[in-house]
Structure 1
Amino acid sequence: MELKEAPTAETAMLIRRPVAEVFEAIVDPAVTTKFWFTHSTGRLDASKPVEWEWRMYGVSTRVEVSEIVSNEKIVMRWSDPTTTVVWTFSEMPGDATFLEVRNFGFSGLGDEQVNQAIGSTGGFTLVLAGAKAWLEHGLTLGLIGDRHPRGISA
């Protein structure tokens, strides 16, 4: 199946915390591990790649930041095959942040790209829900670990 337009995974969430705090939650693995991956080799930074791990699944990925604008945007490449993820942080009234995530550049035939975009949308939706729970209420929901209780297949 040939697609007229390449699929893009998109999701977003209002997080009732200041934009600087939400931005830091994505770049600082000490915070991000509360709601997403289990281990990281360092902070997100345009100067060096990092490795993120999900030890409950025995998987990891290399993350390379191509652009980072403090409190506004992160553009990164990750996964295998590599895709692009754009995080956009918008300041909202009442010390809140609207965090948008777009993931694109999926490979394979049309149906494969669509399936990857659907899976990515679901995954990033869980990440944002987990971030909201942690940042607003200090709750670690375990959404990522509970998504595949029987493990994941490559």
Structure 2
Amino acid sequence: MDELEIKTGIQISRAPKEVFEAIVDPEKMSNYFIAESTGRMEEGKDLEWKFPEFDEKVKVHVVEVKPNEYISFKWEGAKGEDLLVEMTLLPMPEESTLVKITEGKMANDKKGLKWLAQNTEGWANFLACLKAFVEHEINLRKGAFDFMKQ
């Protein structure tokens, strides 16, 4: 395997429209992922995200948005690496949504393996927090990474 790519997913017991809005609306996203954003995720927009655990801001370029179906953006997913993140929302039975996330690709080397481990953990956490918020209005992220501030 020459290249590494993150692939993860989770099913959420809500309709695609509700899940989509929770991802693109910064006010909603601040309840489970980021502390703040400079705007809504809209195609072609350049945003900055601030995470509650870190002082620095992350630059995000929104590449493509298909309402209730698909979101892609580029960001520095690893130091010095501009990576594409794709989020696909698939309607499932009983008004639920399968959210699939891919990020990548990077070389299968030491730097790539470090990125794969860290960001796979990060996206799995994102999905769990998204599910808890959308289904139960619970912010799983609040206080979860306070230990990283030290």
Relative to the length of structure 1, the TM-score reads 0.88
1:100 aligns with 2:97: no
Range with greater deviation from structure 2 (62-71 or 92-101) = 62-71
Instruction: Deviation per CA, 1:6-45: give whole Å up to 9, x if none.
Output: 1111211100001001011110001111000101000001
The Cα of 1:82 is off from its aligned counterpart by 1.4
Describe the SS at the equivalent of 2:63.
strand
Contact 1:72 1:90 (C-alpha < 8 Å) held by counterparts: yes
Q: Secondary structure of 2:21's match? A: helix
2:28 to 31, 37, 46: 31
Alignment of 1:5-154 (within 5 A): 5-79=2-76, 80-106=80-106, 110-142=109-141, 145-147=143-145, 149-151=147-149
Check 1:83–1:148 CA distance in 2 against 1; reply closer, same or farther (3 A cut). farther
| Pairwise CA distance, 1:59 | 2.3
Provide the identity percentage.
28
| Inter-partner Cα distance in structure 2 for 1:133 and 1:103 | 22
Using the TM superposition, give the Cα deviation of residue 128 of structure 1 relative to its aligned residue in structure 2, in angstroms.
0.6
Distance in 2 (CA, whole Å) between partners of 1:150 and 1:66 is: 30
Secondary structure of the structure 1 residue equivalent to 2:127: helix
- Check whether the contact 2:10–2:99 (CA below 8 A) recurs between aligned residues: yes
Runs (5+) with no aligned partner, structure 1: none
CA distance in 2, matches of 1:75, 1:150: 28
For the aligned residue pairs, the C-alpha RMSD in angstroms reads 1.7
How far has the Cα of 1:142 moved from its partner?
Answer: 1.9
The 1-side partners of 2:6 and 2:37 are apart by 24
Structure with more of its chain in strand, by fraction:
2
Give, as a single letter, the amino acid of the residue that structure 2 aligns with 1:134: F
Report the AA paired with residue 67 of structure 1.
Answer: E
Distance of 1:123 and 1:147 partners within structure 2: 11
**C-alpha separation between the residues in 1 aligned to 2:11 and 2:42?**
24
